[in-house]
Amino acid sequence: MKLLRLLPLLITVILSSCNLDPGATMYSNVIIPFDERTVPELGLVDVPLNIHASASMDNGCWSNVHFVFTQKDDREYEMVALADYESTGVCPEMVVSGDTTVTFTPDRTGNHIIIFWMTPTVSERDTVVVVDGAR
């Protein structure tokens, strides 16, 4: 009699443990490191500057590689490469990449700092020296 009461519970536990499929893992806007970046060393006031950057990840679970360029103040800028990640267990072997060229126009002379975020806590800096072209 006691065994008959526990039998449904035992069957439920055994059947629910048979599902060993991994759960889906999804992240949006994950910071990924830059592969390359091209920043000019010298710029002129009121003349547009181009910054080229690229980033890639080594499997097909990554998608939507995109870039965000933000002006923090009049001589400091930040750039981040972002991607989405989705996996249900196995990721296809392929490279997922993206690149961009951003343009900004400095309006003051001096050192303009561009901060490239490689991870959420690690950044690398490049400097563009901006001079007055009217000299």
Work out the number of other CB atoms within 10 angstroms of the CB of residue 66. 13
Positions of the chain with pLDDT under 70: 1-22, 134-135
Q: What is the pLDDT of residue 134?
A: 66
Task: Pick the closest to residue 32 from 74, 65, 70 (CA basis).
Answer: 65
Percent residues over pLDDT 70 in the chain: 82
Q: What is the CATH number of domain 21-131?
A: 2.60.40
Stated pTM of the model? 0.80
Q: What is the pLDDT of residue 88?
A: 87
